[in-house]
Amino acid sequence: MKKPETRIQKKNRAAILSAGLDVFSQFGFRGATLDQIAEAAGLSKPNLLYYFPSKEEIHQQLLTSLLSTWLDPLRKMNDSGDPIEEILGYAKRKLALSRDFPRESRLFANEILQGAPRLGDSMPALNALVDKKATVINGWAKAGRIAAIDPYHLLFLIWAQTQHYADFDVQVRAVLGRDDPFPEAATFMEHMLRRTLAP
């Protein structure tokens, strides 16, 4: 039986994962090195290798934990709720993820841009959830509760709009000339979606 980790071991493992998130979100998987991650974690490279034998292991653990976080906002869309409010609620939760987890958003974007080579086994779970919610959105449209709209492209639109604020954070803040674009982004997104979805 494996011995439980000590407090120091837990602290070091968490430091490595946080450092890996910083480095991978900035440089991508190919550009990141174990030396960069060890330095960011405040550990020696041999010490890092005690916890994770490769950068692939660090990256995979980050992706595995991230996918669940990324799917939760869509899982919370209530099939029995008010359609417009449920879609708006989902969009707001996605925007909150970009505000609260920008490094994770960039990590996910980098993985997808590379063809999802390390996320491949998890893609069926993503596809199944999207298909399920697309069926619900289609049902709402057919019942006349929202406008007739392609559910997949609606979800793509929400992903693009919300994740832009994390993935292009520097550009957004430079163009707007302020540090917190999220309140105005939420107001704009709600106005746009209500107009788009109104039956």
What pLDDT is attached to residue 38? 96
Question: Class of 62-197 per CATH?
Answer: mainly alpha
Alpha carbon 170 to chain centroid distance? 18
pTM beyond cutoff 0.95: no
The per-residue DSSP string of 66-132 comes to HHHHHHHHHHT--TTS-HHHHHHHHHHHHHHHHHH-HHHHHHHHHHHHTT-TTTGGGHHHHHHHHHH
Residue pLDDT, tens place only, 9-60:
899 999 999 999 999 988 988 899 999 999 999 999 999 999 999 999 999 9
Confidence of residue 155 (pLDDT cuts 50, 70, 90): very high
What pLDDT band is residue 113 in, cutting at 50, 70 and 90? confident
Closest CA to 15 of 35, 31, 39: 39
CB neighbours of residue 111 within 10 Å: 22
CATH of domain 1-53: 1.10.10.60
Q: Where are the domains positioned within the chain?
A: 1-53, 62-197
Least trusted range by pLDDT, from 27-31, 141-145, 156-160: 27-31
Question: Average pLDDT, stretch 60-85?
Answer: 91
